[in-house]
Amino acid sequence: MNTETLNTYVCGYCAAEQSAEDGPCTCPHCGHFGPMRDFPTRQVLTTARQNDAFRAGMVVGGCPFPGSVVVTSGVSDRGRDFVTGAILAAAFDRDFCEDNDPYGDRSFGIVTVQGERLYWKIDYYDADQEQGSDDPSDPGRTHRVLTILFPSEY
């Protein structure tokens, strides 16, 4: 087995770690059996924590990671109060499941503002914002862009 291709996966139930080439479906420590989403890599867990902090930082204490927030013209056209509500909803969204967060990195969410369904998503660019980031978990090499949009604008 080539150790250069091993990832460290973390059991979402007991936090036991295991190294493997492919994502496991069973924890050797607690015996939990589940989908790959239940066994994220350390890198995915780090990215998820950073995304949570980035979103919350939009409204509380400042963003701890380099990034920008963008709203689409459809969202902007609804007015300042709607945009503020959308940013607050995205900042404090905690409703993650396999349907809206299949990779477990918390880079996508669905929220409701004034009765309207919105999406928010985070894209990762390199520090110069010229191309995609090769490691979203490295804040020194990643500029996050959070976009808030209507589903019809996706």
Whether residue 146 is predicted with pLDDT greater than 90 in this model: the reply is: yes
Q: Give pLDDT, residue 50.
A: 96
Whether residue 1 is predicted with pLDDT greater than 80 in this model: the reply is: no
**Alpha helices, DSSP H only, in the chain?**
42-57, 73-76, 80-91
Q: Give pLDDT, residue 3.
A: 52
**Alpha helices, DSSP H only, in 24-79?**
42-57, 73-76
Tokens found for residue 15: 């936090």
Q: Among 1-10, 100-109, 139-148, whose mean pLDDT is lowest?
A: 1-10
Tens-digit pLDDT profile for residues 36-78: 888 989 999 999 999 999 999 999 888 888 999 999 999 999 9
Tens-digit pLDDT profile for residues 80-106: 999 999 999 999 999 998 888 888 899
- Percent of the chain's residues with pLDDT above 90: 72
Tell me the pTM: 0.85
Q: What is the mean pLDDT of the chain?
A: 92
Positive or negative CA dihedral for 13, 46, 68, 154? negative
Whether residue 136 is predicted with pLDDT greater than 80 in this model: the reply is: yes
Q: HEC string of 112-134?
A: EECCEEEEEEEEEECCCCCCECC
Q: Give pLDDT, residue 115.
A: 98
- Percent of the chain's residues with pLDDT above 70: 97
Q: Rounded to whole angstroms, how far apart are CA atoms 11 and 24?
A: 9
